[in-house]
Amino acid sequence: MTITLIKSGAFTTIQDLGRNGWQAYGMPVGGAMDRMAARFANILLGNDENEAVLEMTLVGPTIQFNENTIISIFGANMAPKIFGKMIEIRKPISIKKGDIITFGAAQSGVRTYLAVKGGFSLPKILGSKSTNVRANIGGPLQTGDVIQLNHSYSTNHFSWGLSFKLENYIHDRHVPIRYVKGPQYDLFTEETKQALLESAFAISLHSDRMGYRLTGPKLSTNQKVELTTEGTTFGSIQVPPSGEPIILMADGQPTGGYPKIGQIINVDLPRLSQIRPGEYIRFKEISLIEAQKQMLDQHKEFTAIKTACLIKWRDY
């Protein structure tokens, strides 16, 4: 029960929701950049939402399936096709032994996720199957790689899927990325605080899974500061001496000594992860209470969709 990569794509890796609990030992959490897309790819199949998925970046792979199975695809639209025939995303898809799926370039967004029902048969390292290239845990998948599946499934026709308003975030380029004040917010000049709210910042071409470097107005503190290294997290907005902010992403280091002017709210991290290098973003400050409300509202909606999907699979 395997799949074979006939072509690897631009940057295809195995990711789940990351290595939680190891940051104190210097290990980044890592995991999927767009965790919402990865979670929905799994719950569409009745999988545990933390099951590993394929994360494809900008240009997808060509994959041969060596067993009957069921898959789902979520995230950026890479126009997947089986033997040249377009297939739908955001729904369970029956795959026959010998089927070959080709993915093209992302038409919008950056990252696409593929889940298989029952999951991939892969070992866990520190409680996770995620690839972390900088930590030498796995690496980008290569042409010819073979990945084991946990189960095979008989083919079926599925008429249901997710239509799906939550995925509209991939196209919301004009909606600001929201943040709450960071722990060193008061150290920054008033001009810097204003620039963060009023200016557009471009995502540098030198951005990756570790961090998004931004180009735009230079940000500065009231005076030169030396900080004790402290914890960071996915979405921390650090400002190094150059004045060009860096947003730490999924593979970001667990500690840092640069002042942090803000923290991207959890709800907006999936949208941020789908913005391409060269595109522009704007920021909007919100309160911690509002950020928590947004997260709770999203959790309620997610739970309702997850429950509906599990009911669909109950009699399968």
- Helices 288-313 and 35-43 cross at an angle (nearest 10°) of 20
Cβ atoms within 10 Å of 165's Cβ, excluding its own = 8
Contacts of 304 by beta carbon, 8 Å cutoff, 6+ apart: none
Confirm whether 204 is domain-assigned: yes
Confirm whether 87 is domain-assigned: yes
Residue 149 and residue 65 in one domain = yes
Q: Is the pTM of this model over 0.75?
A: yes
Structure tokens at 155: 């083919």
**Which helix H or strand E contains 294, and what residues bound it?**
helix 288-313
Q: Is 302 exposed, middle or buried (0-12, 13-18, 19+ CB in 10 A)?
A: middle
Residue 176 and residue 94 in one domain = no
Confirm whether 305 is domain-assigned: no
Per-residue pLDDT of the chain (316 residues; tens, 9 = 90+): 899 999 999 999 999 999 999 998 889 999 999 999 999 999 999 999 999 999 999 999 999 999 999 999 999 989 999 998 999 888 899 999 999 999 999 988 999 999 999 999 999 999 999 999 988 899 999 999 999 998 888 777 777 777 655 556 566 667 899 999 999 999 999 999 999 999 999 999 999 999 999 999 999 999 887 788 888 999 999 999 999 999 999 999 999 989 999 999 999 999 999 999 999 999 999 999 999 999 999 899 889 989 988 888 887 7
Residue 152 and residue 27 in one domain = yes
Residue 58 and residue 96 in one domain = yes
Residue 151 and residue 271 in one domain = no
Confirm whether 303 is domain-assigned: no
Confirm whether 230 is domain-assigned: yes
Residue 68 and residue 108 in one domain = yes
Residue 17 and residue 93 in one domain = yes
Number of H helices, E strands in the chain: 4, 21
Residue 89 and residue 212 in one domain = no
Confirm whether 260 is domain-assigned: yes
Confirm whether 302 is domain-assigned: no
C-alpha 166/C-alpha 177 separation (Å) is 16
Residue 151 and residue 192 in one domain = no
Split into its structural domains, the chain has a count of 2
Structure tokens at 169: 């975030």
Confirm whether 291 is domain-assigned: no
The last residue of one of the domains, among 121, 138, 166, is 166
Q: What is the pLDDT of residue 164?
A: 58
Residue 35 and residue 161 in one domain = yes
Residue 98 and residue 227 in one domain = no
Residue 158 and residue 213 in one domain = no
Domain around 204:
172-285
